[in-house]
Amino acid sequence: MRFIADLHIHSKYSRATSPGMEAGTLARWAKKKGIGLIGTGDFTHPVYFSSLKAQLEPVGNGFFQLKGEGDSVHFILTAEVSNIFSQGGRLRKIHNLIFAPSFEVVEKINARLGSLGKLASDGRPIFGLPARDLVKMVMDISLDCFIVPAHAWTPWFSVFGANSGFDSIEECFGDEARHIYAIETGLSSNPEMNWRCSSLDRITLISNSDAHSPGKIGREANLFDCELSYYDVLDTIRKKDKKRFLSTIEFFPEEGKYHYDGHRECDISLSSRETKINGDICPVCNKRITVGVMHRVEDLADRKEGFIPDNAIPFTSLIPLEEIIAEALGRGTGTQSVNREYERLISEAGNEFKILLELSRGDLSVFVPPKITEGIIRAREGRVKIVPGYDGLYGKIKIFDDNGDKTP
């Protein structure tokens, strides 16, 4: 069965999230996006976990759905935890995703974690537990669980981050690295960047939205063609099976908040080459620059750009439909006119991914205005211009040329 999965989102109990991030809203937006499997997020939070048990029912395959609805959207139990600890003489800050097959297993995980910290403090709780010990603890509870380092390259809170990460999976997780089968690429990197590191050849690269609001669901995702069950998805990821894991759906990484180096306060953005020339120092304030994802990948890479491993899973880069509509109309995202056109197009096509991935130009032209159709095709073909993001600022992506673009 072919389906799209977004495995990393947050609930309304995480900091800086929309109050709409709860199961019913997630299911509605997943349908709108064309997502068949979505992470619950934040199962460690006591109030949210209680609401999940009240709203969801098991469907017999390790997944869940809204009670009484026979819903087409399935949920997988997920959480993200923050590990802050000292190792190798340095302070480390790592975010890790946890996947679990049942409420009973989650209850055991929460009981163990609850003895180490305050689960109710945030949907993404913080522990002084080394990442290696987290893996051992979870695997001791159930070998059917799955742990994935989140947004693996961002400067802070990631396994390879320039500020508090490691140089390898093995350095971070030690003897528990055998349980790490995948990493999440994050918005500021894509598979092509990760392919430059031969140490990751055994690792499956997954991509997820890390959404904090409903509209951001699916901005990155995974396309599977396997049995819609927890165990088959887990097996597909573990085995890096290209027949069952068809592709990832990616942000253009330059649009991510940490792709380039820079200092937001100094309004300075630098390539890794420019940063190295300056000795990692900001030329404006003379303080250490925020080293971005591209720089960090180049530090660890042992291959040239463009290398494709034999077992690489393909990827597709897309721009969210809302952003395409906004640029075509000359309006901001979230404005009434953009929202109205978005909802009209979804009602015509059925879901967003069908519009972005499947429909031909001819099919689109039946109900999509010409300039929006052109924007969708250009995004598919990568014919875009991007000013890279840096130091927490999203990159700026342009589909149409301000200087005389003749697109209708």
390/133 Cα distance (integer angstroms): 32
18 and 149 part of one domain: yes
245 and 326 part of one domain: no
Q: Which of 233, 254, 275 is the last residue of a domain?
A: 254
84 and 219 part of one domain: yes
The answer as to whether 26 is a domain residue is yes
| β strands within 310-367, DSSP E | 315-317
Range 308-323 average pLDDT: 97
Query: Does residue 403 register a pLDDT over 90?
Result: no
State the pLDDT at residue 406.
55
Q: What are 211-222's pLDDT values in tens digits?
A: 999 999 999 999
23 and 151 part of one domain: yes
For 120, 159, 187, 402, the CA distances from 207, given in Å and listed in that order, are 27, 15, 8, 32
The answer as to whether 282 is a domain residue is no
Domain that holds residue 52: 2-254
370/407 Cα distance (integer angstroms): 8
138 and 54 part of one domain: yes
The answer as to whether 217 is a domain residue is yes
pTM of this prediction?
0.97
226 and 341 part of one domain: no
Q: Which of 222, 237, 254 is the last residue of a domain?
A: 254
Q: What are 119-143's pLDDT values in tens digits?
A: 999 999 999 999 999 999 999 999 9
14 and 111 part of one domain: yes
Range 147-175 average pLDDT: 97
Q: What are 236-275's pLDDT values in tens digits?
A: 999 999 999 999 999 999 999 999 999 999 999 999 999 9
Cβ–Cβ under 8 Å, residues 39 and 230:
no
Query: Does residue 166 register a pLDDT over 90?
Result: yes
Cβ–Cβ under 8 Å, residues 286 and 301:
no
State the pLDDT at residue 405.
62
The answer as to whether 268 is a domain residue is no
Look-up of token digits 């799955």: 146
Query: Does residue 355 register a pLDDT over 60?
Result: yes
The pLDDT-based confidence of 70 (bands split at 50, 70, 90) is: confident
State the pLDDT at residue 224.
98
Look-up of token digits 């159930």: 142
Q: Which of 284, 210, 262 is nearest to 392 (CA)?
A: 262
Q: What are 270-295's pLDDT values in tens digits?
A: 999 999 999 999 999 999 999 999 99
Range 302-330 average pLDDT: 97
State the pLDDT at residue 69.
80
158 and 236 part of one domain: yes
Query: Does residue 18 register a pLDDT over 70?
Result: yes
Q: What are 369-395's pLDDT values in tens digits?
A: 999 999 999 999 999 999 999 999 999
151 and 38 part of one domain: yes
172 and 37 part of one domain: yes
Number of domains present in the structure of the chain: 2
Q: What are 21-38's pLDDT values in tens digits?
A: 999 999 999 999 999 999
The answer as to whether 101 is a domain residue is yes
Query: Does residue 10 register a pLDDT over 90?
Result: yes
State the pLDDT at residue 68.
87
189 and 335 part of one domain: no
Q: What is the CATH number of the domain that holds 207?
A: 3.20.20.140
Query: Does residue 201 register a pLDDT over 80?
Result: yes
End-to-end CA, the chain: 39
State the pLDDT at residue 351.
98
Query: Does residue 345 register a pLDDT over 50?
Result: yes
Range 228-242 average pLDDT: 98
247 and 351 part of one domain: no
State the pLDDT at residue 404.
47
The answer as to whether 239 is a domain residue is yes
Q: Which of 254, 278, 310 is the last residue of a domain?
A: 254
The answer as to whether 270 is a domain residue is no
Query: Does residue 88 register a pLDDT over 90?
Result: yes
The answer as to whether 48 is a domain residue is yes
